[in-house]
Amino acid sequence: MNQSNARAEPLRETVAGSPEPLQAIETAYRRIEGEPHRNCWIHVRPREEAREECIKLMARARAGENLPLLGIPFGVKDNIDVEGMPTTAAYPAFSYMPQRSAKSVERLIAAGAICLGKTNLDQFATGLSGARSPYGSCASVANALYVSGGSSSGSAVAVAAGHVVFALGTDTGGSGRIPAGFNELVGIKPTVGLVSSRGLVPNCPTIDCVSIFCNTVHDGEAILGVIEGFDPEDPYSRPATVSAAAGPGGTFRFGRIAPADIECFGMNDCAELYESACSRFSRLGGHAVEIDFAPFRQAGEMMFTGPWVAERRSVIAALTDIDSGGLLDVTRTVLRSASSYSAMDAFAAIHRLYRLRRAVQNIFADLDALVVPTAPRPFTLDDMHGDPVTLNNRLGYYSYFANLLDLCAVAIPNARLPDGMPMGVTLLAPAWRDRELIGLARRLELDGGGAAFELRSRARDR
């Protein structure tokens, strides 16, 4: 069913001591409780507990403490630890109660944000569809016939439905971007290692990262500023190379895919929306440069038709018996495919990846960003359940390569298909150019200039 983008009165930046934070908490719980059919929450914090925390935060703010995210409600993907809330990774038998929150969550709470609960995901973050969870499939908020995208499905849906202002996800092969594209959100995928991964249930630890779902690039930039930073407790954390923010205007050069090379898997309307985005960016001062997409495509193919699936299996097998009856069949099928790769295959793939990285570095040498569709096309939930592996992998055509090639990314809304389904575009740049890319994304997003930290409401499926 198609749904519009009607918004309630926004929650603007709060004023210390005002009732607005408590109003935001009440609004959030009212929406969460009114929409259980969205399947976006696995665990919701008791309302009174969140209210009490909000009251304490307001008192601290009145006493002069700096709390930049005072009272702002957020959600956390349920493969990221939050103290006092169970972590399941969408596998009930795996559930445990962490003694400590993930570093990213600790930093948000220290800034005054209030975590309302844990959001649904593709089991063990293995998937891009949002249809691989024992807690139910998540549909796009814009059109309930279609997948929400995954694996951070619940985080995206919770933000798009107006349950929370922002949410944390993770992104290994597109999980922080695909759901943003299908729910008309902004998705920030930082450089791997910029945000600590301590407290994440590992997937592919060498290329995992925390991601952000929000309504504007401005919000994403502010949240990233809170959670980023080197973490000596995280062996995958990397000291950042300084990247200046992009200026407010001027010309820029962006790479684009040649029309003949655009892959939409039979839905040509999606190609037209990508062309319209490129034309709009040119009108805003961009100079489009057609690039050779082959190195990106080849790197992306290595994600699940290469030995990185073996890294995923090795990690998950250390957490649970993958041959037990508890895993979904599709999760087990994906993980079992890892057994066909040897150590020799892994090193051959690493050597090939280094060559592809060098080719991509040369492509970016004269570009400010590469612009690609966030996903080739949407698929219905019925189609995805009928062919969960093939269609899932097609969703990652424009996203699988990013972390393998050490790129940062920002997914932004673009336009809608005739049936109301959103199709976003993603801006990519080499590692550590996060601030420059965010600055460019702020110029290009459709909803530029919106107030920060809005709690938005979408028209509901009643």
What is the rounded CA–CA span in Å between residue 207 and residue 171?
Answer: 8
CB count within 10 Å of CB 258 equals: 10
Residue keyed to tokens 């295959």? 345
3-state secondary structure of 380: strand
Name the token pair of 250.
Answer: 């001027």
Alpha carbon 369 to its chain centroid, in Å, reads 19
175 counts as catalytic: yes
Residue keyed to tokens 């969460």? 32
282 counts as catalytic: no
Judge whether 191 and 408 are in contact, CB under 8 Å: yes
What is the rounded CA–CA span in Å between residue 141 and residue 128?
Answer: 16
Identify which of 249, 253, 250, 263 has the alpha carbon closest to the alpha carbon of residue 290: 253
Residue keyed to tokens 């998540």? 138
What is the rounded CA–CA span in Å between residue 209 and residue 213?
Answer: 13
What is the rounded CA–CA span in Å between residue 324 and residue 156?
Answer: 30
Q: Which amino acid is at 228?
A: E
3-state secondary structure of 88: coil
77 counts as catalytic: yes
Active-site position among 133, 153, 155, 175? 175
Q: Which amino acid is at 120?
A: N
CA distances, 322 to each of 129, 227, 311, 328 (Å): 21, 33, 14, 10
3-state secondary structure of 210: strand
CA distances, 189 to each of 213, 381, 399, 409, 411 (Å): 9, 25, 11, 5, 8
Judge whether 458 and 3 are in contact, CB under 8 Å: yes
Judge whether 164 and 73 are in contact, CB under 8 Å: yes
CA distances, 373 to each of 121, 151, 240 (Å): 22, 18, 28
What is the rounded CA–CA span in Å between residue 211 and residue 158?
Answer: 15
Judge whether 204 and 308 are in contact, CB under 8 Å: yes
3-state secondary structure of 92: helix
What is the rounded CA–CA span in Å between residue 138 and residue 303?
Answer: 24
Catalytic residues: 77, 151, 175
